[in-house]
């Protein structure tokens, strides 16, 4: 049985020259120094440079073409927008001309729409006209269109009619403006205002992040009280006890032993002092988020 022959020497393939050579440092070095490999390398570099220049030129041409397309599209959009705005303006003008205007008639003390030949009484809010002539609170649309109703069509002169929310809403929806002598109503807008309340500067500080005073923690251990030079500690690091504290300790000791304070006034003062200390302790704990 025959076996497939396999060389023990590995081979290397040169992509530029498209040939095989021994996979050794000396063989590859000799091949790369050869004239054929150097020529192929120079040709490859020239092709890469030409391709880079061609890609750059194509990108520049594409950018110029896209710029021209965008400019043409912007000009067409501006032209269409101007045409649409002009058409809308003409439509509004035609609608306003078809609706007419209400002018104050001094002889009848009513508003009169000459375009549709209807009268309007601002006191009763009724209309007078039509075929046959009659009073109507809601005239037929065929005789008096909705756009020509009083409040939507402009009116000139006459007294200012009372405020009517429904008429004001209809006028705002119709987009028509009143004349110089009157208005269809006043439109109100509700504005909500949000006010941010100030936060306590130490609201986010937890109990484990409290300041340390003399190795103790808490309002009852000197936080928030005492002098600015270290609370009730002196320069040697030892705690000082003032006369009031000594007296309070003595009174407490005497009470525990069954004795009585020497002076009732002193006992009342010590009680007030203890109540004040508890209030300070409570406020200090609240400021550090402990309560």
Does the structure show a pLDDT above 60 at 276? yes
pTM for this structure? 0.33
Of the chain, the percentage scoring pLDDT greater than 90 comes to: 36
Cβ neighbours for 254, distance < 8 A, ≥ 6 positions apart: 260, 261
Residues of the chain with pLDDT > 70, as a percent, come to 63
What does the pLDDT read at residue 56?
Answer: 96
DSSP codes, 168-223: HHHHHHHT----SS--S-----------PPPPPTTTT--GGGPPPBTTB-SGGGTT
pLDDT-derived band at 248 (thresholds 50, 70, 90) equals: low
Q: Rounded mean pLDDT of 231-259?
A: 50
Burial 194-214 (b: 16+ CB within 10 A, else e): eeeeeeeeeeeeeeeebeebb
**What is the pLDDT, as a whole number, of residue 76?**
95
**172 — pLDDT class (breaks 50, 70, 90):** low
Confidence of residue 202 (pLDDT cuts 50, 70, 90): low
Give the integer Cα–Cα distance in Å for 216 and 164. Answer: 71
Residue 143 CB neighbour total at 10 angstroms: 15
Q: Are 9 and 22 in contact (CB under 8 A)?
A: yes
Residue 142 has pLDDT above 80, yes or no: yes
Residue-level pLDDT at 143: 86
The three-class DSSP label of residue 227 is strand
The yes-or-no verdict on residue 255 having pLDDT over 90 is no
Average pLDDT, rounded, for the chain: 77
Structure tokens at 237: 């690091």
Mean pLDDT of 185-212: 58
**Residue 146: which pLDDT band, with cuts at 50, 70 and 90?**
confident
Could you give the CA distance from residue 139 to residue 117 in angstroms, rounded to a whole number? 12
Q: Is the pLDDT assigned to residue 81 strictly greater than 70?
A: yes
């Amino acid at each position: 049985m025959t076996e497939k022959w396999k060389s023990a020497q590995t081979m290397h393939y040169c992509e530029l020259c498209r040939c095989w050579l021994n996979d050794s440092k000396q063989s590859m070095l000799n091949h790369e120094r050869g004239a054929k490999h150097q020529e192929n390398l120079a040709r490859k570099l020239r092709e890469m440079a030409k391709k880079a220049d061609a890609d750059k030129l194509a990108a520049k041409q594409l950018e110029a073409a896209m710029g021209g397309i965008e400019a043409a599209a912007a000009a067409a959009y501006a032209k269409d927008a101007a045409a649409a705005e002009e058409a809308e303006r003409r439509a509004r003008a035609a609608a306003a001309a078809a609706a007419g205007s209400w002018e104050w008639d001094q002889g009848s003390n009513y508003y009169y729409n000459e375009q549709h030949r209807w009268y309007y009484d601002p006191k009763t809010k009724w209309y007078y006209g039509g075929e046959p002539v009659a009073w109507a609170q809601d005239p037929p649309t065929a005789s008096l269109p909705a756009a020509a109703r009083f409040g939507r069509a402009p009116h000139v002169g006459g007294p200012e009619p009372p405020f009517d929310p429904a008429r004001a809403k209809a006028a705002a929806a119709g987009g028509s403006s009143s004349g110089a002598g009157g208005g269809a109503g006043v439109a109100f807008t509700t504005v909500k205002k949000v006010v941010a309340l100030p936060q306590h500067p130490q609201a986010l500080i937890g109990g484990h992040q409290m300041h340390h005073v003399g190795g103790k923690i808490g309002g009852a251990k000197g936080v928030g009280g005492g002098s600015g030079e270290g609370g009730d500690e002196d320069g040697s690091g030892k705690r000082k006890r003032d006369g009031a504290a000594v007296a309070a300790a003595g009174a407490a000791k005497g009470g525990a032993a069954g004795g009585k304070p020497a002076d009732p006034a002193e006992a009342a003062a010590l009680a007030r002092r203890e109540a004040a200390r508890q209030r300070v302790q409570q406020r200090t704990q609240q400021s550090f988020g402990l309560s």
